[in-house]
């Protein structure tokens, strides 16, 4: 075991992890992978510093044309090559002369959950060493927003046209101006523009120089995601915590079979990209009601579904017909009521797995709970500038 751990922890062995990830479920090799992950978690040891970048780089080479991201709203599909290319373009813009964001800076992403833009920005932040700070536009409140900017120590805000004017008003400060970005509508063939007045024309050039993400070295203890609890307490996850969480989620989602198209309908930013580590396609769509959910199962080749326990409750006793489609696995983030499980089983013949974390780790304590207990005191750790 010690030899395996040393091998998996070194920077040069991303390829070894890539091979582990591709092993079929319920095999000795897969069990070894999970055992290594459990050991790293329990002993607070690190995955390779370029783990995430390296795995996605391999998928981009091995299956460049395979769908990585399927956005239902626009019937748009992005391949692993497309996702990689878009992330590089975003990186080039945000680190370029217009924004000049250095590694370690914090980006507040004020975009709808489940949107393509939010997923791509999260990927770009993680791969380039920026701190990803998600903010659901539905929670945008005029009085609270400036305070959140201060607590999260935000360096850049990226939003869309819908919230543009309000964000302009709330972030105006001549003493310490924030860098600001704007996502505008674009066609599938046009690279996503970023910038307060769209992107500088040269940022969209196909021959724009780029550096492979896998060569970007960032300390494992550097911040990856920063959030605020409902009581405005800071929750910060290091890259190591994030990688461990992401990989354990990937093993959990692929516990019985390798998924092809995963509908990840949840607001849990920590595991939203777990599908990509295993080369699976990520399906993005919000659930408005039970009818739209059932219709989606009928019309899309979704074989794995992961959502909150509340969304599973939508399938009430008024629904009697069997669910069609390609469903083969059901997962829930949070405990699901036994009666709800029985209802879903009667219509799908599938069990809902709601044992995330305990399925991988001996310790059932979730990383989010651990982060809550280790709240960071911003006043002690960093100087907080006034934004208003």
Number of domains in the chain: 1
Q: Residue 11 domain-assigned? A: no
Q: Residue 210 domain-assigned? A: yes
Tens of pLDDT, residues 168-195: 888 877 666 777 776 665 544 344 445 5
Q: Residue 182 domain-assigned? A: yes
Task: Provide the CATH number for the domain around residue 155.
Answer: 3.40.50.12780
Q: Residue 92 domain-assigned? A: yes
DSSP code, position 240:
H
321: three-class secondary structure by DSSP: coil
DSSP code, position 284:
E
Q: Which pLDDT score is estimated for 216?
A: 64
Q: Residue 198 domain-assigned? A: yes
Q: Which pLDDT score is estimated for 19?
A: 81
Q: Residue 121 domain-assigned? A: yes
Answer for the pair 341, 352: CB distance below 8 angstroms, yes or no. yes
Residue 144 belongs to domain spanning? 53-66+80-239
Q: Residue 43 domain-assigned? A: no
User: How far, in Å, are 10, 57, 301 from residue 7 at the CA level?
Assistant: 6, 20, 38
Q: Residue 157 domain-assigned? A: yes
In the sheet that 234-238 helps form, which strands lie side by side, from edge to edge? Answer: 179-183, 156-160, 106-109, 131-134, 223-228, 234-238
Q: Which pLDDT score is estimated for 150?
A: 87
Tens of pLDDT, residues 285-326: 888 888 888 889 988 999 999 998 888 988 876 677 777 778
User: How far, in Å, are 70, 89, 113, 167, 207 from residue 85 at the CA level?
Assistant: 16, 6, 22, 28, 11
Low-confidence ranges of the chain (pLDDT < 70): 1-13, 29, 41, 43-45, 143, 174-176, 182-216, 267, 317-318, 357-388
Residue 214: CB atoms within 10 Å: 18
């Amino acid at each position: 075991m010690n030899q395996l751990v040393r091998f998996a922890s070194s920077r040069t062995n991303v390829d070894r992890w890539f091979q582990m990830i591709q092993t079929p479920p319920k095999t000795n090799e897969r069990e070894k992978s999970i055992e290594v992950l459990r050991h790293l978690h329990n002993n607070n040891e690190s995955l390779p510093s370029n783990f995430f970048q390296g795995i996605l780089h391999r998928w981009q080479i091995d299956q460049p044309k395979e769908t990585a991201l399927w956005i239902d709203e626009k019937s748009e599909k992005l391949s692993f090559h497309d996702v990689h290319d878009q992330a590089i373009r975003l990186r080039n813009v945000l680190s370029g002369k217009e924004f000049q964001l250095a590694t370690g800076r914090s980006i507040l992403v004020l975009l709808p959950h489940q949107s393509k833009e939010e997923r791509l920005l999260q990927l770009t932040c993680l791969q380039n060493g920026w701190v990803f700070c998600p903010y659901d536009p539905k929670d945008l409140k005029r009085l609270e927003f400036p305070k959140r900017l201060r607590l999260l120590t935000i360096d850049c805000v990226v939003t869309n046209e819908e919230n543009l004017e309000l964000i302009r008003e709330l972030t105006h400060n001549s003493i310490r101006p924030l860098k600001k970005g704007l996502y505008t509508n674009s066609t599938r063939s046009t690279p996503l523009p970023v910038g307060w007045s769209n992107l500088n024309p040269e940022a969209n050039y196909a021959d724009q120089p780029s550096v492979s993400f896998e060569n970007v070295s960032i300390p494992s203890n550097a911040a990856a995601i920063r959030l605020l609890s409902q009581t405005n307490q800071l929750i910060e996850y290091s890259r190591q915590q994030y990688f461990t969480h992401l990989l354990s989620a990937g093993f959990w989602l692929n516990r019985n079979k390798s998924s092809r198209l995963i509908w990840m309908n949840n607001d849990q930013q920590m595991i939203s990209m777990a599908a990509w580590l295993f080369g699976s396609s990520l399906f993005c769509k919000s659930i408005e009601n039970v009818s739209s959910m059932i219709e989606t199962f009928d019309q899309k080749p979704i074989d794995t579904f992961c959502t909150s326990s509340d969304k599973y409750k939508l399938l009430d006793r008024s629904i009697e017909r069997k669910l069609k489609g390609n469903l083969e696995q059901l997962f829930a983030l949070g405990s699901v009521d036994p009666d709800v499980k029985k209802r879903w089983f009667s219509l799908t013949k599938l069990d809902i797995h709601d044992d995330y974390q305990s399925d991988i780790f001996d310790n059932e304590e979730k990383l989010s709970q651990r982060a809550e207990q280790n709240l960071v005191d911003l006043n002690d750790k960093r100087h907080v500038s006034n934004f208003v």
